């Protein structure tokens, strides 16, 4: 899935916060994103994987933390 397809899906689902994350990454304003791996960013696993992949392509480091706040190795 390319960037435009991802953005179209996000717009259809009214996921403005995720669109803003992508825009911030494009502008160089988002360098790192911390996530709980079990939760991810989005409930849709495929879309979650695509969005995280896009963010990484845009230079964002994805850091996974445990439920108690400890960092674990990211991808």
Determine the Cα–Cα distance for residues 34 and 62; give it in Å rounded to an integer: 6
Determine the Cα–Cα distance for residues 47 and 54; give it in Å rounded to an integer: 10
In 3D, which of 66, 42, 43, 65 has the Cα closest to residue 54? 42
- Digit-by-digit pLDDT tens for the chain (75 residues) are 999 999 999 999 999 999 999 999 999 999 999 998 777 899 999 999 999 999 999 999 999 997 765 656 554
The answer to whether the CB of 30 falls within 8 A of the CB of 60 is yes
pTM for the structure as a whole: 0.84
Indicate the domain borders of the chain: 3-72
Joined tokens for residue 62:
């994805």
């Amino acid at each position: 899935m390319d960037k435009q397809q991802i953005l179209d899906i996000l717009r259809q689902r009214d996921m403005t916060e995720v669109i803003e994350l992508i825009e911030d990454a494009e502008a160089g304003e988002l360098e790192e994103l911390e996530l709980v791996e079990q939760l991810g960013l989005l409930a849709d696993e495929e879309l979650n994987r695509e969005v995280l992949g896009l963010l990484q392509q845009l230079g964002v480091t994805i850091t996974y933390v445990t439920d108690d706040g400890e960092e674990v190795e990211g991808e």
